[in-house]
Structure 1
Amino acid sequence: MTLFILTVLIGFVAGLRAMSAPAAVALGAYLGWLPVSGTWASFMGHWLALAIFAILALVEFVTDQLPGTPSRKVPQQFGARIISGGFSGAIIGTVSGSLAVGLMGGVIGAVLGTLGGYEARKRLVAAIGGQDLPIALLEDAVAVILALWVVSSVL
């Protein structure tokens, strides 16, 4: 799989769940799937980075289910997803030889994931009679599985 496609996919994950992408990248770095040692991203291989991003991802899974959570398309949420996707893509790009391609792919993927995830969730919720929780949990599962697949496929 090409670097650009993998970074678009990790960005897409960030568009679905902002903290899932960096949590998966931190896990990949910690397990040695992403050789970040000696790069600007070496901190991602530390257990503390993994713990912080994993906790943030878990908090996001919970808060996404709350009725007062703002839309992923409001500027703060959208911006966080773009930053997360770009950051995660840049790390994958760094270990694969092109930080710029990784950053660009991550940002593009985050935009696609944010807008596409919103539309898909809205339509699927409508299709099952307005019940959001099953679709939100499905989206969580897609984000986690896709993120783990991407980081395990980089090298």
Structure 2
Amino acid sequence: MHYVLLALLFALLIGFIAGLRAMTPLAVLAWGAMLGWINLAGVPHGAWSAWLGSIVAVVILSILAIGELVTDQLPKTPSRTVPAQFGARIVIGALAGAVIGTPFGHIFSAIGAGIIGAVLGTLGGSAGRGFLAAKFGKDLPAALIEDAVAVIGGFVIVYLAGASL
């Protein structure tokens, strides 16, 4: 029971990060796997996600995550709540949930928690950023705070997930 709750909690949280920044969860999971914070290869049924710990995955996913952080600041970037953006966040939340749930032995329940987290992160992040932007009188400070929460929060979640095993 203990591992089920941990898997669901960490999947929900990493899904929430996907709602804030779609590429960040996979990038931080890749870094965490490469640094040995979370074991994706040496667990039952972990072979499917072990590729995330490779240097190639770390580099590609980091470039994509940094690119998203930059393009998010552009005025023509569509809202995260439009169907394509929202859908991508749900899919990545599900994938990230499955990855973080794998070492706990609860892939499928973690998929559902990752999806719920992505929905909450997408809607909550949009509302929170709008609130902060209104308080600051401009969007950039709110966006940078959200970036920091996504990146730092993602690394903390992955580290704590690995430490909980």
Higher mean C-alpha deviation, range 62-71 or range 91-100: 91-100
Gapped runs of 5+ residues in structure 2?
Answer: none
Normalising by structure 1, we get a TM-score of 0.96
Normalising by structure 2, we get a TM-score of 0.90
**1:2 to partner: Cα distance:** 1.9
> Are 2:73 and 2:140, in contact at CA under 8 Å, matched by a contact in 1?
yes
Counterpart in the other structure of 1:47: 55
The answer to whether the aligner puts 1:127 opposite 2:131 as a matched pair is: no
> Are 2:18 and 2:93, in contact at CA under 8 Å, matched by a contact in 1?
yes
CA distance in 1, matches of 2:32, 2:94: 17
Counterpart in the other structure of 1:104: 112
CA distance in 1, matches of 2:136, 2:152: 23
> Are 2:10 and 2:101, in contact at CA under 8 Å, matched by a contact in 1?
no
Counterpart in the other structure of 1:70: 78
**1:12 to partner: Cα distance:** 0.3
**1:73 to partner: Cα distance:** 0.3
Gapped runs of 5+ residues in structure 1?
Answer: none
Alignment-mate amino acid for residue 150 of structure 1: I
CA distance in 2, matches of 1:14, 1:134: 20
CA distance in 2, matches of 1:43, 1:128: 41
Counterpart in the other structure of 1:19: 23
Secondary structure class of the residue paired with 1:41: helix
Counterpart in the other structure of 2:154: 147
Give the counterpart of 2:37 among 25, 33, 37. Answer: 33
Alpha-carbon RMSD across the aligned residues, in angstroms, is 1.0
> Are 2:101 and 2:110, in contact at CA under 8 Å, matched by a contact in 1?
yes
Q: Identity over the aligned pairs, expressed in percent?
A: 52
**1:105 to partner: Cα distance:** 1.1
Give the counterpart of 1:85 among 86, 93, 107. Answer: 93
Shift >3 Å, 4+ stretches:
none
Counterpart in the other structure of 1:7: 11
> Are 2:33 and 2:39, in contact at CA under 8 Å, matched by a contact in 1?
yes
